[in-house]
């Protein structure tokens, strides 16, 4: 187990290095003069040629690319992700101040997904091929097919403007969370519902369930006490891996609902070509993602002691 | 000094009497309003984070103030400076500072602070204040700025330099805290979300009526407008705050007041005049006749724009040529000119040909501006206009960085360019001088005109406005005669407030007069 | 996914059997019918569209659906129905191009990695690991955002992130069939490496690739629309659904049909591919 974790950690470091090289080279081999773009972004209204040269020197953009990369990398290893070109604040600060908002939104989205998926998935599985099952499977396909940016706009239009029940934008009380969480959670709810259904079906076909039924246990006990517990194991994995799609969805939801999270920070910095911030965000998101995957795998072993990892 | 005080006392007395009359006049109304204590707090939405690399945005937040402010007609007015004058040789500017002003941290504002702020400002924004040789302190409230050669737009340039407390800056010239002298000070800042301002009780211009202002950063324009409609925010401020397409819905809403003003930005078509087909002045003129700017403004901008008749916008009306130099919307004339230039439709497919090749050009648009202005729609309307006279125009949006590089390489045939400038002198120079400079756009190396270079250089040094204006009239005439660029429209800035917000006055450079705004019962 | 792949490969059945089951699958048939209709619409667009999709009629702008313009007009007075009809080919092209490139690159590299093993395998799979460490859309967003807004860049970005999952699945599948008798037999007969890979192994791992490609069409069309929505998509006056939706957003209050119809078009198309892909997966995976 320990060797497995160490091996995975090593792989993680390698992946993150790869990620940083890719983002860095992407940033630096694109057409256009970053100093000029940054100067315009920073000073907007009126800039001069001197300002551009000043920006270039200040940000070290006049150095060769590999020197820029190694300087950046050594700083990262010391925990310094550099300064945002646009706001002149430390990149790590920018990311960390927005982290809670994104985590909150992602958790809320996940909650919405599970609140829908668990009951619907169980009912669908226990009544396979019934009308309920067909409708919910159709709904699940609809859920993954609906463009979430479109859904978000329609939700605002309907619930905030026509009905006036929920706020249009921003982070605040629980009422601010509902629409973004719905926008974010729909796709995941659809995927999770299907997963719970198929996982339940598989478990319900197992010998020990048949044995439990044969023993005359109540159907409710069989389903909730025996089947559900075992059916949840693969679900936990997928829910963990869904974290990635939650982050993707968060970009859209954060843009539409003016939610001050990391997704929007990334979009803003991409449009402003705020290279340091783009690099920092991508590295941070990738690190988070890889780490979550690792935790999911470890948790999975813990849930299901039958699985053993061996270092090959 | 004593004289000054006397004048102040007298004007105060006059004001009080006037106020008394006004109060008596609307006593009934006043009594009614007084019944309900309305909290003096507003929430304003805008499309960018009001705190940037140099601290709180001076015009949007008014945390910082400048020596000179610009009024609604973009004329310089005293800010933290009370007066200024230039020496005979045009090199030395003597600036007298306002007394009794304090920074939010209690530090008194004086000549030392002004020099500190200007030194810092010229370090982080070199070149913008002209060729500054040195800044001298004369006494507590007078400083001198000495240039190495005359720089006429100096006073207007001061508008870009905020007065900042030394405690606000670290040793690397970064702004670590926004400490200025303005009517509001920063209470809380959540990056990417909101900035909370509270009023400065010690403001030199009197205590503001609003107690608290919250600025919410809402990047999506549709969400922003819906938030205003739902009453979650009270105002939308800033340039581009409301898109023209969205204004009609708000206009129809009785609870919302839509406000407009000439913006500082105007927009042009630029051509590469050095290569065919646009090296022929007749072709360039034909383009201007082919385009219907009136319907462009009506349909692409929903009427929120002003058609231009010369290359200087109405905002700088003293600097704008008195005559109509550009004419549009005459398709017969456009076809005639194309024919003269050798572009005729020989095979009857509706497209003109010259030397057996179709007239096909590409308009390159800079991606960053497509998001800020309806450039795509404008280009699409133009595309249809040009097709009418037999020209095929393709549209290509490229990233702003790539666009600049293509411009420099001469790979752009035709484009749309936004131009802004506080100073008409520098705006015209930056746009038309062959070496260019910068406004919002890089000056494209689309043409090089020695006479224009001469005239604009002279205007930059000419401190007498009337003389400089005549120089720039001449530039405008040349631009129009040779159709070096086609001015399209001057933009209109659209803001809106809910009907219980009073006292907001729009400013072309989106300065918000927070100290005058107040809230009444809905 | 790996479980599924094994299941699909183990449960390999003749094509006729697959078709027979597909025909009985109601949702699959609905999906296939919609896709067929879309292809027809895309091909016949110039003949069936009631108006020119890029012709402006500024006097008739922002009209609600009426008898002349069945789905109304946009802010430049263009017929929305005609634009949607022409947009079908744009969306299908994006889907086919991206899925085609991603599948081709992914299958080839997956085959090589799985068959060759060793250093080649290690190299390819580590690149896959790195690319999979980015949440997909975020990498696409970065690529398209940095290269500039255009349909071409969007397709490039989606293909760059898309091939990895094919490579992974094919590699896994190759590992499971590589030691099978028929491969051993071919090798014993002295058949060339490339021939073994493409003639003997490839047909045996195609089933999961087909499922992935069908579902991939849905995913790619949706992702391209999302990128267009963020302003990184098609150039005017191309009638691309995602950018139509994005352009119409400013009019959402005054003319909601500008937003609603393109959204519906995207949804129906994506749904059709999901119906079909989902059914294929069920049928091919069921032993």
What ipTM does the predicted assembly reach?
A: 0.83
Q: State the average pLDDT over residues B444-469.
A: 84
**pLDDT at site B119:** 94
Residue B465, both tokens: 């406005």
**pLDDT at site A310:** 40
**Is B52 close to A42, i.e. CB distance below 8 A?**
yes
- pLDDT, one tens digit per residue, over C173-231 is 888 787 777 777 887 887 787 888 788 788 878 888 888 999 999 999 998 888 888 77
Q: State the average pLDDT over residues B298-321.
A: 88
Hey, CA dihedral for B97, B102, B108, B109, is it positive or negative? negative
Mutate to test the interface with A, among B57, B221, B438, B445 (most CBs of A within 10 A): B438
Residues 6-25 in A contacting B (C-alpha not used; CB under 8 Å): none
Angle between helix axes C151-178 and C80-116 (nearest 10 degrees) is 40
Q: Is B54 helix (H, G, I), strand (E, B) or coil?
A: coil
**pLDDT at site B3:** 47
CA distances from C77 to C58, C60, C161, C254 (A): 5, 5, 38, 15
Mutate to test the interface with C, among A37, A137, A150 (most CBs of C within 10 A): A150
Residue B188, both tokens: 């809380």
With cut-offs at 50, 70 and 90, classify the pLDDT of residue A41. Answer: low
Count: domains in chain B: 2
**Bigger pLDDT: A244 or C54?**
C54
Q: Residues for chain B: how many in total?
A: 522
Which of A26, A141, A278 lies closest to C274 in CB terms?
Answer: A141
Contacts of B174 (CB under 8 A, 6+ apart): A88
Which of B243, B295, B396 lies closest to C250 in CB terms?
Answer: B243
Mutate to test the interface with B, among C54, C144, C148 (most CBs of B within 10 A): C148
Q: What is the CATH number of the domain that holds B386?
A: 3.10.105.10
Q: Residues for chain A: how many in total?
A: 312
**Is C142 close to A267, i.e. CB distance below 8 A?**
no
For C258, half-sphere exposure in the C-beta direction (CA atoms, 13 angstrom radius) is 22
**pLDDT at site A304:** 62
Contact B484, B273 (CB under 8 A): yes
Q: Is A31 helix (H, G, I), strand (E, B) or coil?
A: coil
d(CA B334, CA B328): 9
Residues 210-249 in A contacting B (C-alpha not used; CB under 8 Å): none
**Is A15 close to C147, i.e. CB distance below 8 A?**
no
A233 touches C at CB < 8 Å: no
**pLDDT at site B439:** 38
d(CA B121, CA B130): 12
d(CA B259, CA B237): 10
**pLDDT at site B4:** 54
What are the two backbone dihedrals, phi and then psi, of residue C246, each rounded to the nearest 5 degrees?
-65, -45
Q: State the average pLDDT over residues C62-86.
A: 88
* Residue that is last in its domain, among B168, B189, B219: B168
d(CA A269, CA B95): 40
* B288 and B153 in a common domain: no
pLDDT tops 50 at residue B381:
yes
d(CA B344, CA C84): 35
Q: Which residues of A touch C229 (CB under 8 A)?
A: 147, 149, 252
Parent domain of B346: 263-491
**pLDDT at site A47:** 61
pLDDT tops 80 at residue B470:
yes
* B459 and B333 in a common domain: yes
Highest mean pLDDT among B408-412, B514-518, C118-122, C220-224: B514-518
DSSP string, C112-174: HHHHH-HHHHHHHHHHHHHHHTS-HHHHHHHHHHHH-S-HHHHHHHHHHHHHHHHHHHHHHHH
CA distance to partner chain A, nearest, from residue B59 (Å): 12
Look at B286-300, B367-381, C159-173 and tell me which has the smallest mean pLDDT. Answer: B367-381
**In-domain check, residue B214:** no
With cut-offs at 50, 70 and 90, classify the pLDDT of residue A311. Answer: very low
**In-domain check, residue B467:** yes
Contact B315, B508 (CB under 8 A): yes
**In-domain check, residue B255:** no
Q: State the average pLDDT over residues B368-392.
A: 85
Contact B422, B509 (CB under 8 A): yes
**Is A153 close to C145, i.e. CB distance below 8 A?**
no
**pLDDT at site B313:** 86
Q: What average pLDDT does the structure give for chain B?
A: 86
Q: Which residues of A touch B405 (CB under 8 A)?
A: 31-33
The chain C residue lying nearest B244, using CA atoms, is C250
Give the neighbours of chain B: at least 3 Cβ pairs within 8 Å. Answer: A, C
A157 touches C at CB < 8 Å: yes
**pLDDT at site B28:** 44
* B161 and B270 in a common domain: no
Mutate to test the interface with B, among A30, A44, A46, A97 (most CBs of B within 10 A): A46
Contact C211, C280 (CB under 8 A): yes
**Is B371 close to C231, i.e. CB distance below 8 A?**
yes
DSSP string, B251-318: HT-TTEEEEEEEEEEEEEEEE-TTSTTTTSHHHHHHHHHH--HHHIIIIISTT-EEE-SSSS-GGGGG
- Classify burial at A217, counting beta carbons within 10 Å of its beta carbon; exposed 0-12, middle 13-18, buried 19 or more: middle
pLDDT tops 80 at residue B123:
yes
Contact B475, B455 (CB under 8 A): yes
Percent of chain C having pLDDT more than 70?
92
For A304, half-sphere exposure in the C-beta direction (CA atoms, 13 angstrom radius) is 16
**pLDDT at site B8:** 53
Which of A282, A289, A290 lies closest to C142 in CB terms?
Answer: A282
Q: State the average pLDDT over residues A165-194.
A: 88
With cut-offs at 50, 70 and 90, classify the pLDDT of residue B215. Answer: very high
CA distance to partner chain B, nearest, from residue C216 (Å): 28
CB contacts < 8 A (A, C)? 115
**In-domain check, residue B324:** yes
CA distances from A105 to A223, A258, B468, C50 (A): 32, 12, 58, 45
Nearest in space to C144 (alpha carbons), one of C241, C246, C227: C227
The chain B residue lying nearest C56, using CA atoms, is B384
Q: What is the DSSP letter of B390?
A: T
**pLDDT at site B87:** 92
DSSP string, B198-230: EE-TT-TT---S-SEEEEEE---HHHHHHHHHT
CB contacts < 8 A (B, C)? 64
Contacts of B315 (CB under 8 A, 6+ apart): B73, B74, B262, B263, B264, B266, B490, B508
pLDDT tops 50 at residue C44:
yes
* Residue that is last in its domain, among B106, B138, B168: B168
**In-domain check, residue B400:** yes
- Classify burial at C80, counting beta carbons within 10 Å of its beta carbon; exposed 0-12, middle 13-18, buried 19 or more: buried
B247 touches C at CB < 8 Å: no
**Is B397 close to C150, i.e. CB distance below 8 A?**
yes
Q: State the average pLDDT over residues B282-296.
A: 92
**pLDDT at site B77:** 94
Nearest in space to B219 (alpha carbons), one of A147, C224, C258, A261: A261
Bridge partner list, B236: B45, B496
**Bigger pLDDT: A247 or A257?**
A257
Q: Is C281 helix (H, G, I), strand (E, B) or coil?
A: helix
Q: Which residues of B touch A167 (CB under 8 A)?
A: 227, 230, 232
Percent of chain C having pLDDT more than 90?
28
d(CA A82, CA A77): 11
* B482 and B338 in a common domain: yes
* B281 and B159 in a common domain: no
CA dihedral of B51, B54, B55, B61, whole degrees rounded to 10? -70
Look at A21-30, A36-45, B167-176 and tell me which has the smallest mean pLDDT. Answer: A36-45
Q: State the average pLDDT over residues B57-73.
A: 92
With tokens 């290095």, the residue in question is A17
Q: What is the CATH number of the domain that holds B80?
A: 3.90.76.10
Q: Residue A298: how many CB atoms within 10 A of its CB?
A: 15
Contact A81, A92 (CB under 8 A): yes
**pLDDT at site A48:** 65
Contact B346, B357 (CB under 8 A): no
**pLDDT at site A16:** 87
Nearest in space to B300 (alpha carbons), one of C244, C252, C77, C52: C77
**In-domain check, residue B441:** yes
Q: What average pLDDT does the structure give for chain C?
A: 84
* B323 and B471 in a common domain: yes
* B312 and B163 in a common domain: no
- Residue ranges of the alpha helices (H) in chain A? 2-28, 34-43, 49-58, 65-77, 91-126, 131-145, 148-155, 174-204, 207-214, 219-221, 228-256, 262-271, 275-303
**Is A170 close to B192, i.e. CB distance below 8 A?**
no
- pLDDT, one tens digit per residue, over C4-41 is 555 565 555 667 777 888 888 888 899 999 999 999 99
Percent of chain B having pLDDT more than 90?
47
CA distance to partner chain C, nearest, from residue B268 (Å): 20
Angle between helix axes C26-48 and C257-285 (nearest 10 degrees) is 140
**pLDDT at site A308:** 47
Radius of gyration for the alpha carbons in chain C, expressed in angstroms and rounded: 22
* B391 and B280 in a common domain: yes
- pLDDT, one tens digit per residue, over A53-104 is 777 887 777 788 888 888 888 988 888 888 887 788 889 999 999 999 998 9
Bridge partner list, C79: C73
- pLDDT, one tens digit per residue, over B385-433 is 999 899 999 888 877 767 777 777 778 899 998 887 767 888 888 788 8
With cut-offs at 50, 70 and 90, classify the pLDDT of residue B201. Answer: very high
pLDDT tops 50 at residue A186:
yes
Look at B8-12, B232-236, C264-268 and tell me which has the smallest mean pLDDT. Answer: B8-12
**In-domain check, residue B213:** no
**In-domain check, residue B35:** no
Q: Which residues of C touch A10 (CB under 8 A)?
A: none
Mutate to test the interface with C, among A270, A287, A297 (most CBs of C within 10 A): A270
């Amino acid at each position: 187990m320990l060797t497995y974790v160490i091996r995975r950690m090593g792989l993680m470091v390698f992946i993150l290095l790869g990620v940083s090289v890719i983002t860095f080279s992407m940033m630096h081999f694109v057409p256009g003069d970053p100093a000029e773009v940054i100067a315009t972004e920073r000073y907007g209204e009126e800039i001069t040629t001197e300002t551009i040269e000043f920006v270039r020197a200040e940000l070290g953009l006049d150095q060769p690319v590999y020197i820029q990369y190694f300087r950046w990398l050594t700083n990262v290893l010391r925990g310094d992700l550099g300064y945002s070109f646009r706001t002149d604040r430390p990149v790590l600060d920018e990311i960390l101040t927005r982290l809670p908002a994104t985590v909150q939104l992602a958790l809320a989205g996940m909650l919405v997904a599970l609140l829908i998926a668990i009951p619907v998935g169980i009912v669908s599985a226990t009544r396979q091929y019934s009308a309920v099952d067909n409708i919910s499977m159709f709904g699940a396909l609809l859920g993954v097919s609906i463009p979430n940016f479109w859904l978000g706009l329609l939700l605002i239009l309907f619930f905030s403007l026509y009905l006036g029940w929920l706020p249009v934008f921003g982070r605040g009380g629980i009422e601010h969370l509902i629409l973004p969480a719905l926008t974010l959670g729909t796709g995941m709810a659809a995927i999770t519902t299907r997963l719970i259904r198929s996982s339940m079906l598989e478990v319900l076909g197992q010998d020990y369930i048949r044995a439990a039924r044969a023993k005359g246990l109540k159907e409710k006990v069989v389903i909730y006490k025996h089947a559900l517990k075992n059916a949840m194991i693969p679900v936990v994995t997928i829910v963990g891996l869904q974290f990635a799609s939650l982050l993707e969805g968060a970009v859209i939801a954060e843009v539409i609902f003016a939610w001050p999270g990391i997704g929007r920070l990334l979009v803003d910095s991409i449009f402003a070509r705020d290279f340091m911030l783009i690099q920092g965000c991508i590295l941070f998101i990738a690190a988070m993602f890889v780490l979550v995957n690792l935790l999911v795998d470890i948790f999975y072993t813990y849930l299901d002691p039958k699985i053993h990892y061996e270092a090959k | 000094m004593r004289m000054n005080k006397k004048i102040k006392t007298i004007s105060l007395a006059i004001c009080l009497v006037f106020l008394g009359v006004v109060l008596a006049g609307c006593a009934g109304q006043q009594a009614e309003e007084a019944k309900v204590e309305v909290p003096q707090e507003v929430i304003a939405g805008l499309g960018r984070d009001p705190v940037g690399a140099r601290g709180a945005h001076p015009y949007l937040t008014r945390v910082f103030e400048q020596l000179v402010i610009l009024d609604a007609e973009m004329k310089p007015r005293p800010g933290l400076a009370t007066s200024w004058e230039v020496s005979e040789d045009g090199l030395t500017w003597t600036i007298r500072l306002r007394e009794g002003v304090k920074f939010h941290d209690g530090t008194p504002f004086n000549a030392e602070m002004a020099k500190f702020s200007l030194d810092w400002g010229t370090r982080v924004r070199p070149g913008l204040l002209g060729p500054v040789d040195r800044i001298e302190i004369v006494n507590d409230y007078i400083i001198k700025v000495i240039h190495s050669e005359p720089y006429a737009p100096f006073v207007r340039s001061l508008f870009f330099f905020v007065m900042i407390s030394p405690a606000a800056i670290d040793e690397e010239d970064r702004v670590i805290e926004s400490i200025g002298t303005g009517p509001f000070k920063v209470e809380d800042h959540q990056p990417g979300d909101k900035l909370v301002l509270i009023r400065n009780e010690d403001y030199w211009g009197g205590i503001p009526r609003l107690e608290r202002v919250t600025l919410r950063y809402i990047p999506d324009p549709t969400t922003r407008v819906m938030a205003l409609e739902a009453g979650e925010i009270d105002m939308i401020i800033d340039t581009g705050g409301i898109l023209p397409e969205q204004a009609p819905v708000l206009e129809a809403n009785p609870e919302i007041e839509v406000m407009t003003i000439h913006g500082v930005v105007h927009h042009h078509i630029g051509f590469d005049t050095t290569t065919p087909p646009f090296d022929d002045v007749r072709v360039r003129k034909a383009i201007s006749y082919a385009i219907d700017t009136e319907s462009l403004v009506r349909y692409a901008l929903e009427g929120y724009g002003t058609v231009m008749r010369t290359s200087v916008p109405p905002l700088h009306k003293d600097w704008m040529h008195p005559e109509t130099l550009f004419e549009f919307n005459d398709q017969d004339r456009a076809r005639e000119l194309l024919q003269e230039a050798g572009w005729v439709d020989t095979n009857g497919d509706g497209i003109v040909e010259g030397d057996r090749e179709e007239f096909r050009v590409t308009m390159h648009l800079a991606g960053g501006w497509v998001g800020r202005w309806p450039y795509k729609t404008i280009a699409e309307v133009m595309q249809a206009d040009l097709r009418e006279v037999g020209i095929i125009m393709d549209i290509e949006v490229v990233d702003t960085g790539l666009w600049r590089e293509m411009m420099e390489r001469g790979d752009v045939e035709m484009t749309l360019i936004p131009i802004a400038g506080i100073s008409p002198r520098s705006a015209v120079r930056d746009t038309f001088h062959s070496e260019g400079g910068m406004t919002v756009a890089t000056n494209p190396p689309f043409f090089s005109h020695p006479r224009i270079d001469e005239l604009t250089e002279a205007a930059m040094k000419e401190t007498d406005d009337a003389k400089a204006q005549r120089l720039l009239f001449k530039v405008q005439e040349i631009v129009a005669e040779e159709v070096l660029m086609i001015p399209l429209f001057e933009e209109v800035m659209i803001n809106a407030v809910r009907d219980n917000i009073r006292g907001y006055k729009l400013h072309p450079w989106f300065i918000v007069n927070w100290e005058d705004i107040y809230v009444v019962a809905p | 996914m790996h479980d599924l792949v094994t299941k699909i490969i183990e449960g390999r059945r003749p094509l006729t059997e697959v078709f027979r089951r597909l025909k009985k699958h109601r949702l699959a048939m609905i999906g296939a019918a919609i896709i067929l209709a879309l292809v027809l619409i895309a091909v016949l667009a110039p003949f069936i569209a009631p108006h020119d999709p890029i012709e402006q009629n500024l006097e008739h702008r922002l009209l609600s659906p009426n008898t002349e313009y069945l789905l109304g007009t946009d802010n430049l007075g263009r017929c929305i129905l005609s634009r949607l009809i022409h947009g079908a080919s744009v969306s299908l092209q994006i889907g086919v191009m991206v899925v085609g490139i991603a599948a081709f690159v992914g299958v080839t590299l997956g085959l090589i990695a799985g068959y060759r093993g060793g250093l080649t395998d290690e190299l390819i799979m580590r690149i896959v690991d790195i690319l999979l460490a980015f949440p997909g859309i975020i990498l696409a967003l970065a690529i398209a955002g940095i290269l500039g807004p255009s349909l071409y860049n969007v397709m490039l970005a989606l293909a760059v992130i898309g091939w990895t999952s094919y490579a992974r699945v094919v590699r896994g599948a190759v590992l499971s069939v590589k030691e099978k008798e028929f491969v051993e037999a071919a090798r014993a007969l002295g058949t060339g490496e490339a021939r073994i890979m493409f003639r003997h192994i490839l047909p045996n791992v195609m089933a999961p690739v087909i499922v992935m490609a069908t579902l991939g069409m849905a995913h790619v069309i949706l992702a391209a629309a999302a990128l267009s929505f963020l302003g990184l998509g098609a150039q005017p006056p191309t009638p691309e659904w995602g950018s139509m939706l994005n352009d119409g957003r400013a009019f959402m209050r005054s003319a909601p049909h500008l937003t609603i119809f393109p959204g519906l078009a995207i949804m129906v198309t994506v749904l059709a591919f999901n119906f079909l892909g989902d059914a294929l997966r069920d049928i091919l995976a069921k032993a």
